[in-house]
Structures are given as structure tokens and as C-alpha cells.
Amino acid sequence: MARRVLRVASALSLAWFASIPSAAHAFGDVGAFEARPLLVGDQAGSRRMSALALWATELTNRTSAPARPKPREVRASDDALFDVPFAYWSDNRQLPPLSRAEVANLRRFFALGGILFVDDAAPNETGPGAFGDYARRELARVLPDMAPSPLAADHVLFKTFYLVQRPEGRSNNTKPLEVLARSGKIKVIFSSHDITGAIAKSPNGGWESSLTGGEPQRERAVRLLVNISMYVLCSNYKDDQVHAPFLMRRRGLTPTP
């Protein structure tokens, strides 16, 4: 019953969300959720485009929230970074250090209310791999006043749409999600689970990778991605009750006290 109420509230709120004038936002006008791959340095392209397309499809099918089925890649040094308040960053290796322009643009992106999802594509059994360590180190240059902290199991991100117990992706290691946050507002989400890897498709249409804990992990990965989308689209969720008129505030608006 509670889940049905939350879904109805989310649908009502989406209509309210769509009615807000674009001039009120710090970011460009956005009519749909878009998991844009962030590229830095010598990254030639995202290795998880099939997963991002499926993420958008599942979000729309399950919640009725609008989503772009073909996310557009964006470079950290490009002003197009500011068009949408969300970006997805993933790789399986250490990349070159961020340039000054990339650091400056990312700092502005976060200042405008943007959220970055960092999904390590090659985590180890206990936590981040080479890319995860690299991303934490480089983002410390962008947000030097913040340090990664575990996301509590009762955080609202785990219940924006589905009740999710813990993060799972291609890997089901016990490392929690970690975040960089200021005044309760998440700026960066770190995953050491290759969540998008769990739903990436191969060219022949099959799953790209096997999972460390069995097929049910794919569904749990999708549910967490849906929750992340809803967290990005929404602000001021209440832990114990639904406040429909306020659920779908776009990032960049002044938060409700």
C-alpha cells in the first residue's frame, strides 16, 4: 500500500515538476532524466551505453518519469556539462589527472546543484579498484572540503521508489555506497559494485557479464538505478511520509527549509 501511495505521489509530482518555468532553474531546461556519460582526459567514449539506454527505459516503464533513451556523452571541460544536473562517470582503469579546466567546470557543476554518479567498472572483492581510487583522489581536488562517507542504510536514496537493502551490481561485495555531501545534499555517489555493468548488453543482445551472486542481482541493480534517478529528479523527500507537492523539485531551485 505504501509503495502504491508513493508511486501515485510521484506521478502527481511529475506533472507539477513539468509545469515549472525553465527560467527558474540554474541548469538548462530539461524535460527528461538523462544519465549522461562524463568523459575526461583520454576517454574516447563510455563503455556502458547499452546499460544507460536500458536504465532510461526501465525508469520510464516503472515510474512514468520521462527519460532520454540515448544519453549524450559530455566532456568535463565542455560547457554543455551545465545543461543537465546529472552525470555518470565510469571506467575500469586509472585515467590522467583532471585538467584545470575540468576541475573548474566540475566545481561549477556541483555549485549549481549537479550530482555525479561514479560507478567503478572493475571493483575488487572489498571495494574500489583502480578507477574508484582515482576518482576519489581527483574529486578531492574538485571538492577539497569533503571526504567520502558511507551512505547510511536508512538514507532516503534507498527508498525514493523501491525499498533497496544495499547496493548490488555486477559485484555484490559488501562495500556501502559512499557520498560526498554538503548540508545533507549529495554531490557525488561512489559505487564499488559496477551497477551499470549488471545490465550492460553485448552486441548480440545478451547480457555482457555474469554476476558474482546470481541473476537476481540484475533486478536489484535496476531498482537502485531507478532510485538514483528519482533522487536526482526530486528533493526534500521525507523519510516517513509523502509530501506530493514538493517531491519533484528540480535541482538548482532554492531548497525548501
Instruction: Give 10-residue mean pLDDT values along the chain (257 residues).
Output: 42 37 36 91 86 96 92 95 94 96 97 95 92 98 97 95 95 95 94 96 90 89 97 60 34 36
Cα Rg for the chain, rounded, in angstroms? 17
pLDDT value, residue 213: 81
pLDDT value, residue 46: 79
**What is the model's pTM?**
0.81
Among candidates 205, 230, 218, which has minimal Cα distance to 59? 230
- Let me know if residue 257 belongs to a domain: no
* All cell numbers assigned to 187: 554531490
- Let me know if residue 43 belongs to a domain: yes
pLDDT value, residue 235: 57
The domain of 115 spans 2-246
Query: What is the rounded CA–CA span in Å between residue 108 and residue 253?
Result: 15
Contact yes or no for 95/206 (Cβ under 8 A): no
- Let me know if residue 7 belongs to a domain: yes
Q: How many domains is the chain partitioned into structurally?
A: 1
- Let me know if residue 181 belongs to a domain: yes
CATH number of residue 73's parent domain:
3.40.50.12140
pLDDT value, residue 45: 80
